[in-house]
Protein backbone atom coordinates (compact mmCIF):
# COMPACT_ATOMS: atom_id res chain seq x y z
CA UNK A 1 0.00 0.00 0.00
CA UNK A 2 2.83 2.38 0.86
CA UNK A 3 4.47 1.72 -2.52
CA UNK A 4 1.23 2.53 -4.38
CA UNK A 5 0.74 5.73 -2.38
CA UNK A 6 4.36 6.76 -2.94
CA UNK A 7 4.07 6.04 -6.68
CA UNK A 8 0.85 8.12 -6.90
CA UNK A 9 2.47 11.06 -5.10
CA UNK A 10 5.53 10.91 -7.38
CA UNK A 11 3.29 10.69 -10.46
CA UNK A 12 1.25 13.74 -9.36
CA UNK A 13 4.39 15.73 -8.52
CA UNK A 14 5.96 14.89 -11.89
CA UNK A 15 2.74 15.74 -13.75
CA UNK A 16 2.45 19.10 -11.98
CA UNK A 17 6.08 19.91 -12.81
CA UNK A 18 5.60 18.98 -16.48
CA UNK A 19 2.37 21.01 -16.72
CA UNK A 20 4.05 24.01 -15.08
CA UNK A 21 6.74 23.87 -17.76
CA UNK A 22 4.24 23.45 -20.63
CA UNK A 23 1.59 26.01 -19.62
CA UNK A 24 2.08 29.46 -18.13
CA UNK A 25 -0.71 31.94 -17.43
CA UNK A 26 -0.30 35.67 -16.90
CA UNK A 27 -1.53 39.20 -17.36
CA UNK A 28 -0.46 41.98 -19.68
CA UNK A 29 -1.31 45.61 -20.38
CA UNK A 30 0.01 48.37 -22.56
CA UNK A 31 -0.48 51.25 -24.91
CA UNK A 32 -2.11 51.23 -28.37
CA UNK A 33 -1.13 53.61 -31.15
CA UNK A 34 -4.21 53.10 -33.31
CA UNK A 35 -5.41 54.45 -36.64
CA UNK A 36 -7.83 53.45 -39.37
CA UNK A 37 -6.72 52.87 -42.95
CA UNK A 38 -8.87 53.48 -45.99
CA UNK A 39 -11.18 56.16 -47.39
CA UNK A 40 -12.03 58.82 -44.78
CA UNK A 41 -15.21 60.09 -46.42
CA UNK A 42 -18.54 60.39 -44.57
CA UNK A 43 -21.71 61.62 -46.31
CA UNK A 44 -19.61 62.80 -49.28
CA UNK A 45 -17.35 64.97 -47.08
CA UNK A 46 -13.62 64.16 -46.97
CA UNK A 47 -11.80 64.12 -43.63
CA UNK A 48 -8.15 63.89 -42.66
CA UNK A 49 -7.24 61.16 -40.15
CA UNK A 50 -5.00 61.16 -37.11
CA UNK A 51 -4.24 58.22 -34.89
CA UNK A 52 -5.30 57.92 -31.28
CA UNK A 53 -3.37 56.69 -28.26
CA UNK A 54 -5.34 54.22 -26.17
CA UNK A 55 -4.77 51.04 -24.17
CA UNK A 56 -5.18 47.27 -23.96
CA UNK A 57 -5.20 44.88 -20.99
CA UNK A 58 -6.03 41.27 -20.30
CA UNK A 59 -5.01 37.67 -19.80
CA UNK A 60 -2.31 35.73 -21.61
CA UNK A 61 -1.22 32.08 -21.69
CA UNK A 62 1.78 30.39 -23.23
CA UNK A 63 1.63 26.75 -24.26
CA UNK A 64 5.08 25.36 -24.98
CA UNK A 65 4.90 22.78 -27.76
CA UNK A 66 8.59 22.49 -28.66
CA UNK A 67 11.78 23.86 -27.16
CA UNK A 68 11.73 26.91 -29.46
CA UNK A 69 8.01 27.06 -30.36
CA UNK A 70 4.97 28.08 -28.32
CA UNK A 71 1.36 29.11 -28.88
CA UNK A 72 0.21 32.22 -27.01
CA UNK A 73 -3.57 32.75 -26.82
CA UNK A 74 -4.74 36.01 -25.24
CA UNK A 75 -8.00 37.59 -24.10
CA UNK A 76 -7.73 41.40 -24.18
CA UNK A 77 -9.86 44.50 -23.94
CA UNK A 78 -8.44 46.86 -26.58
CA UNK A 79 -9.52 50.32 -27.73
CA UNK A 80 -8.84 51.33 -31.32
CA UNK A 81 -9.94 54.02 -33.76
CA UNK A 82 -8.92 57.40 -35.15
CA UNK A 83 -9.62 61.12 -34.99
CA UNK A 84 -11.22 62.69 -38.05
CA UNK A 85 -11.20 66.39 -38.96
CA UNK A 86 -12.04 68.80 -41.75
CA UNK A 87 -12.26 72.61 -41.87
CA UNK A 88 -15.49 72.65 -39.85
CA UNK A 89 -15.48 69.78 -37.36
CA UNK A 90 -13.39 67.20 -35.55
CA UNK A 91 -14.53 63.93 -33.97
CA UNK A 92 -13.05 60.78 -32.49
CA UNK A 93 -14.04 57.26 -33.51
CA UNK A 94 -13.05 55.10 -30.51
CA UNK A 95 -14.11 51.46 -30.56
CA UNK A 96 -13.65 49.06 -27.63
CA UNK A 97 -13.08 45.41 -28.54
CA UNK A 98 -12.78 42.07 -26.81
CA UNK A 99 -9.76 40.81 -28.78
CA UNK A 100 -8.62 37.19 -28.99
CA UNK A 101 -5.19 36.95 -30.63
CA UNK A 102 -3.56 33.53 -31.01
CA UNK A 103 0.13 34.04 -31.60
CA UNK A 104 2.70 31.50 -32.77
CA UNK A 105 5.96 32.25 -30.95
CA UNK A 106 9.28 31.21 -32.43
CA UNK A 107 12.18 31.70 -30.03
CA UNK A 108 15.24 33.08 -31.80
CA UNK A 109 17.17 33.07 -28.52
CA UNK A 110 16.22 31.91 -25.03
CA UNK A 111 14.51 35.27 -24.35
CA UNK A 112 13.70 36.82 -27.79
CA UNK A 113 10.73 35.56 -29.81
CA UNK A 114 9.15 36.34 -33.17
CA UNK A 115 5.35 36.33 -32.95
CA UNK A 116 2.72 36.06 -35.68
CA UNK A 117 -0.94 35.07 -35.70
CA UNK A 118 -4.59 35.91 -36.31
CA UNK A 119 -6.84 37.99 -34.09
CA UNK A 120 -10.62 37.94 -33.81
CA UNK A 121 -12.23 40.94 -32.10
CA UNK A 122 -15.79 41.59 -30.98
CA UNK A 123 -17.11 45.15 -30.59
CA UNK A 124 -18.12 45.90 -26.99
CA UNK A 125 -18.32 49.70 -26.95
CA UNK A 126 -18.43 52.68 -29.28
CA UNK A 127 -17.81 56.17 -27.92
CA UNK A 128 -20.21 58.08 -30.13
CA UNK A 129 -18.88 61.55 -30.85
CA UNK A 130 -20.56 61.09 -34.23
CA UNK A 131 -22.87 58.64 -35.98
CA UNK A 132 -20.51 55.67 -36.44
CA UNK A 133 -22.35 54.67 -39.59
CA UNK A 134 -23.38 51.22 -38.38
CA UNK A 135 -20.12 49.83 -36.94
CA UNK A 136 -19.58 46.11 -37.53
CA UNK A 137 -19.47 43.97 -34.43
CA UNK A 138 -16.66 41.67 -35.67
CA UNK A 139 -13.11 42.60 -36.69
CA UNK A 140 -10.41 40.25 -37.99
CA UNK A 141 -6.70 41.10 -38.10
CA UNK A 142 -3.25 39.62 -38.60
CA UNK A 143 -0.62 40.44 -35.96
CA UNK A 144 3.17 40.29 -36.07
CA UNK A 145 5.77 41.39 -33.56
CA UNK A 146 8.55 40.63 -31.10
CA UNK A 147 8.59 39.46 -27.50
CA UNK A 148 11.38 39.71 -24.94
CA UNK A 149 11.55 37.87 -21.62
CA UNK A 150 13.24 40.18 -19.11
CA UNK A 151 13.12 37.53 -16.38
CA UNK A 152 11.39 34.14 -16.26
CA UNK A 153 8.12 35.89 -15.33
CA UNK A 154 8.37 39.47 -16.69
CA UNK A 155 8.11 40.17 -20.43
CA UNK A 156 7.65 43.02 -22.91
CA UNK A 157 6.16 42.86 -26.40
CA UNK A 158 5.83 45.03 -29.48
CA UNK A 159 3.20 44.11 -32.06
CA UNK A 160 1.53 45.51 -35.18
CA UNK A 161 -2.04 44.51 -36.00
CA UNK A 162 -3.27 44.92 -39.57
CA UNK A 163 -7.07 44.86 -39.87
CA UNK A 164 -8.52 42.78 -42.71
CA UNK A 165 -12.22 43.60 -42.26
CA UNK A 166 -13.98 46.95 -42.57
CA UNK A 167 -15.11 48.54 -39.30
CA UNK A 168 -18.32 49.91 -40.83
CA UNK A 169 -20.68 48.75 -43.54
CA UNK A 170 -20.82 52.37 -44.84
CA UNK A 171 -17.12 53.24 -44.94
CA UNK A 172 -13.96 51.69 -46.36
CA UNK A 173 -12.02 51.80 -43.07
CA UNK A 174 -9.93 49.10 -41.38
CA UNK A 175 -8.27 49.10 -37.97
CA UNK A 176 -4.51 49.41 -37.72
CA UNK A 177 -2.75 49.34 -34.36
CA UNK A 178 0.78 49.22 -32.94
CA UNK A 179 0.87 47.82 -29.39
CA UNK A 180 3.55 48.03 -26.72
CA UNK A 181 2.92 45.69 -23.78
CA UNK A 182 4.41 44.59 -20.50
CA UNK A 183 3.27 41.57 -18.56
CA UNK A 184 3.89 38.97 -15.92
CA UNK A 185 3.63 35.17 -16.22
CA UNK A 186 2.79 33.18 -13.08
pLDDT value at position 17? 45
* Distance in angstroms (rounded) separating the CA atoms of residues 84 and 184: 36
The DSSP secondary-structure symbol of 17 reads: H
pTM: 0.84
The winner for highest mean pLDDT among 17-26, 151-160, 167-176 is 151-160
Of 121, 119, 135, whose CA–CA distance to 169 is shortest? 135
pLDDT more than 70, % of the chain: 82
* Distance in angstroms (rounded) separating the CA atoms of residues 47 and 31: 25
pLDDT more than 90, % of the chain: 65
Helix (H) or strand (E) holding 31: strand 23-38
Amino acid sequence: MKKILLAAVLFLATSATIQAQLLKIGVKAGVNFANQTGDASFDGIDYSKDGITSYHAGLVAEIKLLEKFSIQPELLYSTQGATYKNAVEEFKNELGYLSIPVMAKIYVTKSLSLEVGPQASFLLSNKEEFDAQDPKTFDFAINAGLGLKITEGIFIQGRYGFGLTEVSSHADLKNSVFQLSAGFMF
